[in-house]
């Protein structure tokens, strides 16, 4: 009894002491998108090797990251957030209201690919065909919307393989999905006269149609774990997966990307902007923390150095598709001079 009481007291005091004297933060904290996560972690690791403390990078998703980032300033809030899309106006407003000035750095592109196992048949699609394959409702013969009747790829176009449409894709909460829907599905929907007319008349209704993925089993929401999708594709040669280019790049021995609008998803094509389904990736830095949290500026410099994000940099090895030279230069200049984001 004596021992237990004493030991408990010691423990209680020790815990109270350690939490009371919270150590000052001397380490960069980064949150945000799981798509940018592999790149930012690579930079963080390099950055840590030069002697500074390695930043902690958390994968919270773009939205979750923005929420934490815009919560306010101070040690309890992250210094950077990764985003697989640009900051939204609403988010920027929240940020500003809380005294946060984000610095936007566009770090590169990520192509979104439709790929299947090498043991399956290669596919060549147009965006309109993607829409016909995956949309919940498609225009029927008379232009009216009907529930998607296409079961086989060959139902869409006789030239396509006679195989069941089965596409594994990211969940609605993922940035990859947002981008796919915006670039591929909307792009495809626009090709239909009736929908193009609708777009002019009622943008909201158009988006609703273009963004609705079918729910009858041909499109399967497969979770955010892109790696698992890759393995599932290997197991099932007829299935296609939607994911970021870096996964195709890393698994080039197992997977082949489908040609979209005549272009293969390759490093060069995406960098040149020829491949239609690609998006920009961003990181946002908190201006208020520059000069406060040690290493902020150095981290920005590391990220925007050609050794990192250049065409021959280590981020390219990780699958990031670099910006064109001129844009890289202007982005680096803006970032290093801490120019706040403007809308």
Residue with tokens 């079918």, as numbered in its chain: 214
Name which position in 17, 141, 159, 326 contacts other proteins (CB under 8 A).
17
> Which residues in 69-98 contact other proteins (CB under 8 A)?
70, 72-76, 84, 88-91
Our CB check for other proteins shows the closer of 108 and 175 to be: 175
- First CA to last CA across the chain, in angstroms? 66
- Cα torsion 65, 211, 169, 179 to 10°: value is -50
Length of the chain, in residues: 343
Q: What CA–CA distance (Å, rounded) separates 270 from 323?
A: 10
121 binds other proteins, rule: CB under 8 A: no
| Closest to 224 measured CA to CA, from 251, 242, 200 | 242
Residue 257 CB, shortest distance to other proteins, in Å, is 13
Name which position in 126, 148, 174, 266 contacts other proteins (CB under 8 A).
174
| Closest to 61 measured CA to CA, from 83, 88, 86 | 83
Binding segment for other proteins (CB under 8 A), chosen from 40-48, 122-130, 138-146, 320-328, is: 40-48
Our CB check for other proteins shows the closer of 41 and 304 to be: 41
Our CB check for other proteins shows the closer of 218 and 339 to be: 218
Query: What does DSSP say about strands 259-260 and 124-125: parallel, antiparallel, or unpaired?
Result: parallel
Binding segment for other proteins (CB under 8 A), chosen from 153-161, 276-284, 290-298, 334-342, is: 290-298
With left for phi above 0 and alpha for psi between -120 and 50, is residue 291 left, alpha or beta?
A: left
196 binds other proteins, rule: CB under 8 A: no
- β-bridge mates for residue 125, sequence order: 260
Residue 83 CB, shortest distance to other proteins, in Å, is 9
> Which residues in 125-154 contact other proteins (CB under 8 A)?
none
Residue 324 CB, shortest distance to other proteins, in Å, is 21
Name which position in 5, 141, 158, 201 contacts other proteins (CB under 8 A).
5
190 binds other proteins, rule: CB under 8 A: no
Instruction: List, in sequence order, every beta strand (DSSP E) within 252-325.
Output: 255-257, 259-260, 278-286
């Amino acid at each position: 009894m004596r021992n237990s009481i004493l030991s408990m007291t010691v423990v209680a005091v020790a815990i109270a002491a350690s939490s009371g004297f919270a150590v000052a933060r001397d380490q960069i904290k980064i949150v945000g998108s799981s798509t940018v996560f592999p790149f930012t972690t690579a930079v963080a690791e390099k950055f840590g090797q030069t002697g500074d403390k390695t930043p902690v990078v958390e994968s919270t998703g773009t939205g979750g990251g923005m929420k934490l980032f815009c919560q306010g300033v101070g040690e309890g809030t992250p210094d950077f957030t990764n985003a697989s899309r640009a900051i939204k106006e609403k988010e920027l407003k929240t940020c500003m209201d809380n005294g946060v000035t984000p610095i936007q750095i566009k770090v590169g592109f990520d192509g979104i690919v439709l790929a299947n196992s090498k043991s399956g048949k290669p596919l060549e699609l147009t965006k309109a065909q993607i829409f016909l394959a995956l949309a919940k409702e498609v225009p029927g013969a008379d232009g009216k919307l009907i529930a998607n009747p296409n079961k086989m790829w060959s139902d869409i176009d006789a030239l396509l393989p006679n195989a069941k449409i089965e596409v594994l894709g990211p969940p609605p909460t993922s940035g990859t999905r947002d981008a796919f829907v915006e670039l591929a599905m909307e792009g495809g929907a626009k090709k239909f006269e009736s929908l193009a007319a609708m777009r002019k008349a009622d943008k909201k209704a158009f988006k609703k149609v273009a963004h609705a993925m079918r729910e009858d089993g041909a499109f399967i929401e497969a979770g955010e774990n892109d790696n698992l999708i890759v393995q599932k594709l290997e197991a099932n040669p007829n299935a296609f997966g939607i994911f970021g280019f870096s996964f195709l790049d890393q698994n080039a021995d197992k997977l082949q990307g489908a040609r979209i609008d005549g272009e293969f998803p390759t490093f060069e094509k995406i960098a040149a902007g020829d491949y239609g389904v690609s998006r920009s990736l961003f990181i946002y830095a908190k201006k208020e923390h520059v000069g406060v949290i040690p290493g902020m500026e150095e981290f920005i410099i590391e990220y925007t150095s050609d050794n990192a994000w250049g065409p021959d940099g280590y981020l390219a090895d990780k699958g990031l598709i670099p910006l064109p030279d001129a844009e890289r230069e202007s982005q680096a200049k803006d970032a290093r001079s801490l120019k706040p984001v403007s809308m």
